[in-house]
Amino acid sequence: MVWKPKWLQPKQPEETTFEDTVSGMNETLLTAIAPDNLTEYDSSVRVGANYTRTLLIVDYDPIQDQNKIQQVTEIPENVSLVHYLQEYNMGEVRTQLVKSIKQNRMKMNTRFADEQTMIESEGQIESASEMLRNLSYRNDKIYLFHTLIHLVASSQEELDQLTTTVKSKFSKIGIIHNPTDRAVDAFRSFLPLNDNKVDELTYKMTNSEAISYFFPFHENEMFSETGLIKGRNMTTGNVVIVDDTNLLNRHEFVIGISGIGKSTYLFANMTNKHMLGRKIITVDPKGEFGRNYSDLGGAWVKFQLKGGNRINPMDLPKISEKIQMEETELGNILLTKISNLLVMFQLMYNSMSDLQEDILSRYIQKVYEEKGIDETTDVNQLTADDYPILEDLYELIARDKQNDPPLYEGIRDFHTTLETYVYGIYSELFNGATNVNIDNELVCYDLKEMSNNEKIQRILFYNILSHTTYEIMSGDRQPSEIFIDEAHVIADPKVPKAMEFIYFMMKVLRSFNCGITTASQSVEDFLSARDENRNYGKAIITQSVQRLYLPMSEEELKYLEEELGNQFSKEERSTLILKDGKKKEQAGKGIFYTGSKKIKLEVQLNEVTEKLWFDQKSINELTM
């Protein structure tokens, strides 16, 4: 038993305190909430099916380090900390602190003092002196501080293992004691009744600043009063809520190996943002989200070789003159569209030369002219049937076989390629007027049928993103979100301008109240599109204020670190590197950033979203 000097005894309360109200609690109520089965052992207590142990810190290091304390207070869910505080008379404290300093100085001056005694005395003097200074200059208060550590396990063996781990971890701040023969007293002291039955075994006289270290504000917490629930902070156990309207932008990047939880995280974000009243538009190359969108009343737009939907690549966006004046990056609508079409045609025909590009640009301009459309045309007055289609372009070029053979010869190879998209197997995907109606707040572009043809997927990707961009810009600036899953598909090293278009979207659509989320399972592919100016995959990632890195191969992580300059700790690397046979266990757990702040995040879904996604329940089934 540790002797407690009289001057450290707490002051007697002069009026009714909270402790008084607790001690008078209704015994019937306490009996009702008490566990059915409680068994005491020498150093533990069994409560029902669980084994518990309450440890005590009986001796603290004289000088406490805030960083060390914060590390040990970041504990798992089956370990709890309980603190008791008692305020003491300042006059008595000052007297005893002065006395302690004198006694330790005398101890140091004796001829029997060895090196360990000298070090301990110096620490006691420094601690007491610091307390005196705080009392004198900061009007600080002194408290008697008690700490209990409560452990819970499913077996005695697991409890013993947990005890060893906790003792090792908490040894950074003091000596940890297992109160043999007082296990039940320690257990009862843990209960929220403000009744410390082992107070004589554990206490430290300390000031308010040192106590505050045990109740740290975690710099890596992400919690807003309003916003989107992202999941659980794996370090602190707290919920992660991000209000993306308060961030620099709402753009986000998600990376991780296939099957590690990207789609789950994306679906949670889609549904949560939809519930906030935002329009959701998703490019879905794997066909994962369409059924859910349709079930929720959204538009499920399928691109198929036969009988599917189509967006005419040659449509022009209906953007008001006011917006054109405000957004100078847009330039002239027709000329910007011709530039976008040239990128799409390069995706069709990778070996296009500069000369062929110049020739083709003139043909495109001419096909619009033949439809009565030029740089001065008010496109807001046009309908879907007023625009040229790819067949018109193909036939215009074909005429020059006879009319201008040298000119045609310069573009003959492209013309041959274009035929496949006009009359061949891909004609229903690209040739014809737009037959898609996306007047809906929830839109999914399903590209699953093209999943084995990355080239066609890439062209569809670009066409959809171009169309979507101008749909957003022609709207009323209501909040919207664009999700681009498997975004590495559009990253063609031979045509980096395709990836550059996403970068353009992120810069321009931000001012139209739109956030863009890109997701990929391949770091290397995503970062493969670059020119002499920049790496566009990297530019997209750095434009994204929010970033979620889920587990990946060690090679992928190294590549990510080298290309982006990210530095991860040993513990973070352990989270991010996929381990053999641990895929299910690691799914949904990664490193989440908002700007430069990062945490370890476990993705969690609410009950409704979980049933919609994992159980594929319909919304009607859940609301019946």
Q: What is the pLDDT of residues 121-139, one digit of tens each?
A: 888 888 888 777 766 665 6
pTM of the model: 0.70
Q: How many CB atoms lie within 10 A of CB 112?
A: 6
Tell me if residue 213 falls in helix, strand or coil: coil
Q: Residue 281 and residue 263: Cα distance in Å, rounded?
A: 15
Range in 114-118, 178-182, 326-330, 339-343 the model is least confident about: 326-330
Neighbours of 271 (CB within 10 A): 21
Judge if 330 and 205 occupy the same domain: no
Number of other residues whose CB lies within 10 A of the CB of residue 257: 19
Among the three residues 435, 450, 467, which one is the final residue of a domain in this structure? 435
What tokens does 205 get?
């006289």
Are residues 197 and 341 located together in one domain of the fold?
no
Residues 239/535, Cβ–Cβ less than 8 Å: no
Strands 514-520, 252-255: pairing kind = parallel
Tracing tokens 């504990």 back to the chain, one arrives at 75
Residue 545 lies in a domain: no
Residue 257 CA to residue 267 CA, distance in Å, equals: 17
Q: Which residues pair with 126 in a beta bridge?
A: none
3-state secondary structure of 504: helix
> Does the residue 611 lie in any domain?
no
Measured N-to-C along each axis, helices 333-348 and 454-473 cross at an angle, to the nearest 10 degrees, of 170
User: Which of 410, 435, 460 marks a domain boundary?
Assistant: 435
Q: Is the pLDDT of residue 294 over 90?
A: yes
Domains in the chain, number: 2
Q: Is the pLDDT of residue 8 over 50?
A: no
Please state, in angstroms and rounded to a whole number, the distance separating the CA atoms of residues 537 and 520: 11
pLDDT, one tens digit per residue, over 495-525 is 999 999 999 999 999 999 999 999 999 999 9
pLDDT over 80 at 35, yes or no: no
pLDDT winner (highest mean) among 115-129, 140-154, 194-208, 570-584? 570-584
3-state DSSP call for residue 273? helix
Domain presence at residue 494: no
Across 80-84, 403-407, 556-560, 591-595, least confident range: 80-84
Percent of the chain with pLDDT over 70: 86
Does some domain include residue 354?
Answer: yes
pLDDT at res. 165: 87
Whether residue 199 is found in the same domain as residue 325 = no
Q: Which domain holds residue 46?
A: 6-212
Is 196 part of a structural domain of the chain? yes
SS percent in the chain: helix, strand, coil, step 5: 45, 15, 35
Tokens of 268: 């949670």
Phi and psi, residue 521, nearest 5°? -105, 0
Residues 176 and 320 placed together within one structural domain of the fold: no
Q: Region 284-304: what's the mean pLDDT?
A: 95
Residue 175: pLDDT band by 50, 70, 90 thresholds?
confident
- Whether residue 488 contacts residue 460, with contact meaning beta carbons closer than 8 Å, is answered with no
Residue 218 has pLDDT above 80, yes or no: no
Q: Which of 375, 406, 435 is the last residue of a domain?
A: 435
Quick one: 41 and 151 in the same domain? yes
Q: Is residue 184 in a domain? A: yes
Per-residue model confidence as pLDDT tens digits over 539-586: 999 999 999 999 999 999 999 999 988 888 888 999 999 999 999 999
Structural domain includes residue 462: no
Mean pLDDT, residues 332-355:
93
For residue 77, the model assigns a pLDDT of 66
- Considering only 269-273, 556-560, 595-599, which range has the smallest mean pLDDT? 595-599
Tokens of 96: 């005893």
| Domain membership flag for residue 331 | yes
Mind giving me the DSSP string for 428-446? HHHSSS------SSEEEEE
Any idea what the CATH number is for the domain that residue 409 is in? 1.10.8.730
Angle at 326 between CA 321 and CA 332, to 5 degrees: 55
Check whether residue 324 and residue 198 sit in a common domain.
no
Tokens of 15: 């009026």
For residue 138, what pLDDT is reported? 56
What span, in angstroms and rounded, lies between the C-alpha atoms of 495 and 350?
A: 7
How far apart, in whole angstroms, are the C-alpha atoms of residue 99 and residue 601? Answer: 50
- pLDDT band per the 50, 70, 90 thresholds, residue 436: confident
The mean pLDDT value of the chain amounts to 86
Is 175 found in the same domain as 36? yes
- Strand 239-242 relative to strand 228-233, pairing: antiparallel
Select the more confidently predicted residue: 186 or 325.
186
11 CB contacts (<8 Å, ≥6 apart)?
87, 88, 89
pLDDT at 3: 47
Per-residue burial over 287-324, b if 16 or more Cβ lie within 10 Å, else e, is bbbbebbebbebbbbbbeeeebbbbbbbbbbbbeeebe
